[in-house]
C-alpha cells in the first residue's frame, strides 16, 4: 500500500506513485506518469459528476481495480489551493485505517497535478474487495429479504463489526466524516459478514473536537438506519459504542446530538422493497 502524509503533494507540477508489485497490471490499464489523468476512460463508468469520476476496470486475468479521478474546476480553482487534495486524503486515510487494524482499500497508484498550488487533477487506483457489496444495497437487496432468525444474526454480525471499528477509529483519532452506508462494504467470508471502510476523501483527525467527529460519523450511519432499524436498536448501538464506562444519560445525550445533526439536512424517505 502507498503511503502519503495528509498534505499537498506538489506545489507545482506532477507527483506520480505506484506500487512496483503491480507494474504489469497498471501497464495493462495504461497507467503511467505522463497519462491524461482527467480523461482516462478505460473500463466501466460506475459514477460520474463534474469533479469526480470512477471506473471499474477488469483485467484479462479477471482482477478488478477501481480508478477514481478528481478534476479541479475553474469555478472552484482555489478550493484546494495549498491544501491536501481528495485523492491524497484518501490514500492517507486508508493507510491510517490499516494501521488501526480496520479493513479498507489497498491503493496501488496515485497521481496529483498542480499549477502553482492550484489543483488541476488527481487520481488513485484501488484493488477491489472480493465478495463484497455496498452496505446500502446489501441491506435492501439481501438483508431486508432474509427471514428470522437469519436476519437478526446477520444484523448482529455486521453491527458488531462496524461498532468495534468505530470505537477503534475514534479512539485512534480518525474520523471518516462521510460514513454513509454506501461508503461501507459488507464482505462475506464463508457464512459470516464483516465491514470494510471505503470512499474517505474527507477523513481527518480532530484534536480537541473528537465529540464533533463522532457525531458526524454517527449521523452518516443514521441516514438509512432510521428507516430500517428501531429506536431501540439505534440506542443500543450507541450505548455499546460508549461502553461500560459511560455514565447515566451519556448514550441518550449522544443520540440526541446525532438526531440534531441529522435534522439540519433530513434524509429523504427510504422506499423499502416488498418482501418476497
pLDDT 10s digit of each residue in the chain, 276 long? 898 999 999 999 999 999 999 999 999 999 988 888 888 888 999 999 888 999 999 999 999 999 999 987 666 667 778 889 999 999 999 999 999 999 999 999 999 999 999 989 999 999 999 999 999 999 999 999 999 999 999 999 999 999 999 999 999 999 999 999 999 999 999 999 999 999 999 999 999 899 999 999 999 999 999 999 999 999 999 999 999 889 999 999 999 999 999 999 999 888 888 776
What is the dotted CATH code of the domain comprising 132-263? 1.10.510.10
Question: CB within 8 A of 44, min separation 6: which ones?
Answer: 55, 56, 57, 58
SS3 52: strand
CA distance 93 to 104: 9
Phi then psi for 264, rounded to 5 degrees? -70, -30
SS3 220: helix
Q: Would you kindly state where each structural domain of the chain is located, as residue ranges? A: 13-127, 132-263
CATH 1.10.3470: does it fit domain 13-127?
no
Enclosing H/E stretch for 53? strand 52-58
Q: From residue 140, how far is each of 33, 44, 60, 67, 240 by CA, in Å?
A: 41, 24, 32, 26, 25
Amino acid at each position: 500500500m502507498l503511503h502519503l502524509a495528509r498534505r499537498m503533494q506538489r506545489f507545482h507540477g506532477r507527483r506520480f506513485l505506484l506500487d512496483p508489485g503491480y507494474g504489469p497490471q497498471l501497464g495493462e490499464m495504461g497507467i503511467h506518469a505522463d497519462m491524461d489523468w482527467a480523461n482516462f476512460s478505460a473500463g466501466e463508468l460506475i459514477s460520474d459528476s463534474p469533479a469526480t469520476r470512477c471506473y471499474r476496470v477488469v483485467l484479462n486475468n479477471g482482477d478488478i481495480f477501481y480508478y477514481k479521478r478528481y478534476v479541479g474546476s475553474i469555478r472552484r480553482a482555489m478550493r484546494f489551493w495549498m491544501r491536501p487534495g481528495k485523492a491524497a486524503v484518501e490514500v492517507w486515510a486508508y493507510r491510517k485505517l490499516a494501521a488501526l487494524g480496520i479493513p479498507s482499500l489497498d491503493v496501488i497508484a496515485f497521481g496529483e497535478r498542480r499549477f502553482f498550488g492550484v489543483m488541476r487533477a488527481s487520481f488513485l487506483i484501488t484493488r477491489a474487495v472480493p465478495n463484497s457489496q455496498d452496505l446500502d444495497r446489501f441491506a435492501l437487496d439481501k438483508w431486508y429479504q432474509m427471514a428470522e432468525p437469519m436476519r437478526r444474526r446477520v444484523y448482529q454480525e455486521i453491527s458488531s463489526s462496524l461498532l468495534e471499528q468505530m470505537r477503534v477509529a475514534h479512539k485512534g483519532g480518525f474520523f471518516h466524516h462521510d460514513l454513509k452506508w454506501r461508503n461501507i462494504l459488507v464482505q462475506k467470508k464463508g457464512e459470516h459478514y464483516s465491514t470494510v471502510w471505503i470512499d474517505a476523501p474527507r477523513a481527518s483527525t480532530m484534536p480537541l473536537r473528537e465529540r464533533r467527529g463522532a457525531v458526524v460519523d454517527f449521523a452518516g450511519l443514521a441516514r438509512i438506519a432510521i428507516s430500517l432499524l428501531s429506536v431501540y436498536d439505534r440506542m443500543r448501538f450507541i450505548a455499546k459504542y460508549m461502553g461500560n464506562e459511560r455514565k447515566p444519560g451519556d448514550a441518550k445525550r449522544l443520540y440526541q446530538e446525532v438526531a440534531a445533526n441529522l435534522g439540519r439536512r433530513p434524509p429523504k424517505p427510504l422506499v423499502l422493497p416488498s418482501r418476497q
